């Protein structure tokens, strides 16, 4: 359990979708000082590999926005219900956070065999253009 887990619990129990906070509020909730790197705007980005704290708010279903470095404030906005390790209501099985995110973004036509190359003549055209000795496959 990370020292920032209390922030995740706090966000998960919020009824609001928008949670404005001061950096000092985060320190009070977690009982830990923010690291020196938190003085840089990039530290507050929503890249899950950025910091342990970033993972905490993302796993709670929030993203950071409206980061005001001078005023030391930000807003957490709910982007989804927390899904990692949390069972949805109604006794359903938990789902991976990426499940369904791509729904409707790609359409595969009936009869398409995804195991076959899309363009079997690609290598022949490459050889004709550059010669077989330049091919790197």
77-109 residue pLDDT tens: 998 754 444 444 445 555 555 556 556 667 777
Tell me the mean pLDDT in the region 20-47: 89
Return the ∠ at Cα 103 (arms to 99 and 105), rounded to 5°.
135
101 vs 48, residue with greater confidence: 48
Distance separating alpha carbons of residues 44 and 53, to the nearest angstrom: 9
Residue 78, SS3 per DSSP: strand
pLDDT of 29 above 70: yes
Per-residue confidence band for 45, with pLDDT thresholds at 50, 70 and 90: confident
Q: What pLDDT does residue 83 have?
A: 46
As a whole number, the mean pLDDT across the chain is 79
User: 0.85 exceeded by the pTM?
Assistant: no
Q: What pLDDT does residue 48 have?
A: 76
134 vs 51, residue with greater confidence: 51
Q: What are the backbone dihedrals phi and psi of residue 89, each rounded to the nearest 5 degrees, phi first?
A: -65, 155
């Amino acid at each position: 359990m990370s020292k920032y887990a209390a922030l995740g619990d706090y966000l998960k129990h919020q009824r609001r979708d928008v949670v404005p906070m001061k950096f000092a509020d985060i320190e009070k909730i977690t009982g830990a000082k923010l690291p020196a790197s938190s003085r840089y705007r990039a530290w507050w980005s929503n890249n899950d590999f950025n910091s342990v704290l970033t993972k905490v708010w993302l796993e709670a279903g929030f993203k950071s926005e409206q980061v005001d470095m001078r005023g030391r404030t930000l807003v957490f906005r709910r982007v989804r219900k927390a899904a990692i390790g949390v069972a949805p209501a109604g006794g359903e099985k938990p789902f991976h956070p990426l499940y369904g995110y791509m729904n409707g973004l790609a359409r595969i036509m009936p009869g398409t065999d995804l195991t076959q190359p899309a363009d079997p003549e690609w290598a022949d055209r490459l050889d004709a253009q550059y010669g077989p000795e330049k091919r790197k496959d």
